[in-house]
Structure 1
């Protein structure tokens, strides 16, 4: 190697040392910058015709661990969902109150039953009657308010989805733009590491919104997919759209049928114009903030509304329903029961239990007045062991009896006996079926002369509540509408008076005692749609016990949601620490590198000085 080549090589080394010094200074300056990864200079030996002629800078790379990066994306999605759920569950817990606290729902139910107890001890005292109505009104108002707040939370979740979708679209476009810039600088001497850091930060933020998978494309580009495999970013960014609904109520629920959907859905439109609904029919697990909002809007808060509806439903029917048992009858060789269905309302049940070939069976007929409501499914009652059949009464009792008979099969006949009486008979001498009992649960619509029950709680406009199914299910959203019967509010004597001929005495405690026992002693099965109990083992208890279970369940779920979020935050933090240990700038290492570069720079400078001196010597000869 001649002096000219040596000089050229030394200058190359000097320039490389300068580039290294610039990179070290940039690393040190960004040691505390979030998302910045340590950059390293890649160099290579220059050779010509098999001989080394110097050194050159190839590019600048960054220190990253792809496996940890993928793990962080996954855990950030889970953390995003758990954060949303914990936040909403905390709000819900505050609405319900702590079990037994002065403002909790179960305390309000207890205050109402205590007022009934006071009335039963002194029914003639007007103050006691006023107290019962005041507590009933406060209870109804609290249930109304809770229902309104739950629907507002669902509306907030809807708005949260809209904002998250808007943020996701901005991020997707930025990732697409960065892909283009990265490809333009791919393997240039300056590298694309800083752009890749920015893109990683965007992917992490996107992961908080919706769980994604990424794969490397050509020249450093990244392709981004949903967890279901739908492409979000390739050469161009796809776009998400959300048809936010401005008014959400108890009847507003998600459905795969467009005509029945009452809330917004998310549609992904690809760069080629293809569309896919990423919410409809989703089977695969979904995480991220968007999934958290969807879970709250379509599951948790719908269930919370169902709990309130179930409580309101139980309060109304427990106080207003009367059970009518069948009267045993015989017709020739046939045995059975006559059942008086006077006053049977839409939504009221007629239950027959019988034994067929040694097997106990139960069928629950539910009255409907609109044939479009049919058929009904077995989930219409909480009882896991009965078969539910809707019976259309709009055509009269004879047609209804024929429908019941057809549903029960040839071994049992049902006939209209007139006067609202229906007769249920077994198959007589064939002896394949024995009818064990027939009964009906009838909602009272009058205040007296029909028993001690009282329709104290009614629907909007003082309409009787009977869990009617015609048109819209009366139970859905009933919590938002439950109110105290206006006729009782106008005349408190109905709390005591249950007979007008002769008139019930002012000091008669029969009705107050019965009403109190209906709430605190009578056992009811509650729908598993409320999240209390299960389909196979529905919760059975008193009305006041159910209220306590609802409040305690919400408190428990809020605690679990918060614990899940805290645990997930620890997981994210641990992975971030591992990433930092591999990718973050270590100032001590940079200082050591600085010394090496300083030495190299000094050495190259010394080589140049020496060559200069040697050349000067030649010139002086």
Structure 2
């Protein structure tokens, strides 16, 4: 039995060496194959008879660090997000142009203000009027071009969403298909190792587009979830992203949780159980290229559009709107009378009061809203300033009733002023309790006539003829996308003399620079407050400054955002490269190590063969002795 056992052990050794040699050969052949994970044989000892044992190869093991692999997938998602953000924000900087160069908003605004200054210096010369009008047209054109550039980027991102969704679907389906093939196979099965390499590659591809969390169950099935817990892949089943493009995107194409009101493509995910989930509304993805696309399309680039819309709107209103202080009501109760007659939709009446109990000053803006479907206006909790929409045409008595209800408890009282008898004058006072003090009240009205007798001038209009007033309707605010529609007033373009002439009865004297002085001052010195939707300031402390200050500020913010995105991209690239190198140190084929293994196998094979040769010789001797 001793020689038989020795022969069996040697033969098993040869078989084990042959299996190991096959694995080394596979490792060497696939040293440059993407996604290939180095394999090692699983060898166990099996008892044979009373003495000795044989060797048995039970399969292969994939040599990888699962912890590092999970980290790598997480950072790959972060890298996909950072790459897309940096790429688009860099393109956005190209839309704005290099500061100081021609074809930029900054240069166009400076040229316009310089032309207005020259108009005053030249005492309203006709040539200066023409130059100023041309500068205004160039500024409007630059705002149009900038809007087109931003919306083009949004359209590109929208298209990428569809492409990325398809790529993610292909990866998820591949994982599900491989899961099915792996059912019933041991994790140590050599054929399973190849399938698992392919599955890991598909998961790595998926992690570029969405954040993934991977678990493997006892039957070697990979289950993939997003960080928020949405299942992407189960045992043989895969979710699927569905993307329905909304077509051409404009500044007014905004996301809405109501599909009927949404102006952008709908991205949903159909789960393995058949249910559909809105990816945006439910924050399904938090990293990866798809998450970056959604943020860019619905937030970052929308905010960029808000910034130039606010620039166009503030500039237009600064030149065309007349602000009138309310008449003082000595009281008691004390306050102000404001005349709402002649106000256009979107024009406002604003008042401030002090809450004596808390010594807090609050600002209330009454907006003339003629579309009842747009009411009530939405405000953030404890918004200051706060907007209240009312129809000024309803008369002071009706408006007062609405405001007394809306601001009950504020200790501010509203009523129709006893005079004039037109019923268009609203009185705003305290309620004589001593708990509120009305500090100031003004009205803002847009001057429609070019020769109203006032220096205000509607240089810019919405589309060439419609006045810009900031009107609000059920379809949205006139502010949205205004920079893409802004034009020079067609009436002014037809008669450039109105850049100086502001009255016809009596006619504005030749050389009178009242209007040009006013226009120049409004664009360079006047201070305005800007909406926090621009990303500047906050609801409680909005950014304030001149039109030029505002332009420089948001361009600086955008430049910083682009720089930070590029730095994040570079940082993520380093992290991914470092983790990839760490993962490869274990998982990638090391040719030096394989050559060393090959020499050991060669020696072991020769030793096992020699044992068999010696056993054969001993058996021959034993047979001869018996004869």
Identify the TM-score tier after normalising by the shorter chain: over 0.9
Mean Cα deviation higher: 47-56 or 312-321: 47-56
Q: Find out whether 1:604 has 2:603 as its counterpart.
A: no
* Deviation for aligned residue 1:397: 4.6
Task: Give me the TM-score of the superposition, normalised by structure 1.
Answer: 0.94
Partner of 2:516: 512
CA–CA distance in structure 1, aligned partners of residues 70 and 180 of structure 2: 22
Partner of 2:532: 528
Deviations 1:534-591 (A, max 9, x none): 2232110000111111222211111110000100110111111111112222211111
Going from structure 1 to structure 2, the CA distance change for 1:354 and 1:226 (only over 3 Å counts) comes to closer
Going from structure 1 to structure 2, the CA distance change for 1:104 and 1:240 (only over 3 Å counts) comes to same
Mean Cα deviation higher: 165-174 or 412-421: 412-421
Partner of 1:489: 493
Deviations 1:239-289 (A, max 9, x none): 22122221222222222233332223332223332332232132x870011
Q: Secondary structure at the match of 1:568?
A: helix
Query: What is the 5 A alignment of 1:256-405?
Result: 256-282=257-283, 286-329=286-329, 334-355=333-354, 357=356, 359=359, 360-378=361-379, 385-405=384-404
* Deviation for aligned residue 1:168: 1.0
CA–CA distance in structure 1, aligned partners of residues 224 and 387 of structure 2: 49
* Deviation for aligned residue 1:514: 0.6
Partner of 1:452: 455
CA–CA distance in structure 2, aligned partners of residues 428 and 25 of structure 1: 93
Q: Secondary structure at the match of 2:526?
A: coil
Q: Find out whether 1:583 has 2:587 as its counterpart.
A: yes
Task: Give me the TM-score of the superposition, normalised by structure 2.
Answer: 0.93
Q: Secondary structure at the match of 1:475?
A: coil
* Deviation for aligned residue 1:233: 1.3
* Deviation for aligned residue 1:422: 0.7
Aligned partners of 2:524 and 2:548 also within 8 Å = yes
CA–CA distance in structure 2, aligned partners of residues 8 and 187 of structure 1: 28
Aligned partners of 1:98 and 1:555 also within 8 Å = no
* Deviation for aligned residue 1:610: 2.0
Aligned partners of 1:106 and 1:551 also within 8 Å = no
CA–CA distance in structure 1, aligned partners of residues 369 and 31 of structure 2: 72
CA–CA distance in structure 2, aligned partners of residues 492 and 247 of structure 1: 37
Query: What is the 5 A alignment of 1:64-463?
Result: 64-187=64-187, 190-235=190-235, 236-282=237-283, 286-329=286-329, 334-355=333-354, 357=356, 359=359, 360-378=361-379, 385-407=384-406, 412-415=413-416, 417-419=420-422, 421-424=424-427, 426=429, 434-463=437-466
Going from structure 1 to structure 2, the CA distance change for 1:424 and 1:612 (only over 3 Å counts) comes to same
CA–CA distance in structure 2, aligned partners of residues 522 and 457 of structure 1: 18
Aligned partners of 1:253 and 1:261 also within 8 Å = yes
Mean Cα deviation higher: 312-321 or 250-259: 250-259
Q: Secondary structure at the match of 1:258?
A: coil
Aligned partners of 1:346 and 1:470 also within 8 Å = no
* Deviation for aligned residue 1:187: 4.5
Count how many residue pairs are aligned between Structure 1 and Structure 2. Answer: 617
Aligned partners of 2:341 and 2:425 also within 8 Å = no
* Deviation for aligned residue 1:101: 3.0
CA–CA distance in structure 1, aligned partners of residues 534 and 431 of structure 2: 43
Partner of 1:55: 55
Q: Find out whether 1:547 has 2:551 as its counterpart.
A: yes
CA–CA distance in structure 1, aligned partners of residues 142 and 254 of structure 2: 23
CA–CA distance in structure 1, aligned partners of residues 168 and 486 of structure 2: 41
Aligned partners of 2:104 and 2:142 also within 8 Å = no
Mean Cα deviation higher: 319-328 or 519-528: 319-328
Mean Cα deviation higher: 69-78 or 2-11: 2-11
Deviations 1:80-125 (A, max 9, x none): 1111100100000111123333333212111111111111111433
Q: Secondary structure at the match of 1:418?
A: coil
Going from structure 1 to structure 2, the CA distance change for 1:411 and 1:314 (only over 3 Å counts) comes to closer
CA–CA distance in structure 1, aligned partners of residues 82 and 243 of structure 2: 22
Going from structure 1 to structure 2, the CA distance change for 1:197 and 1:356 (only over 3 Å counts) comes to closer
Aligned partners of 1:265 and 1:280 also within 8 Å = no
Going from structure 1 to structure 2, the CA distance change for 1:287 and 1:431 (only over 3 Å counts) comes to closer
CA–CA distance in structure 2, aligned partners of residues 167 and 509 of structure 1: 63
CA–CA distance in structure 2, aligned partners of residues 536 and 386 of structure 1: 7
* Deviation for aligned residue 1:531: 0.9
Partner of 2:33: 33
Aligned partners of 2:84 and 2:293 also within 8 Å = yes
* Deviation for aligned residue 1:350: 0.5
Q: Could you say what the CA RMSD is over the residues aligned between the two structures, in angstroms?
A: 2.4
Mean Cα deviation higher: 287-296 or 154-163: 154-163
Aligned partners of 1:72 and 1:575 also within 8 Å = yes
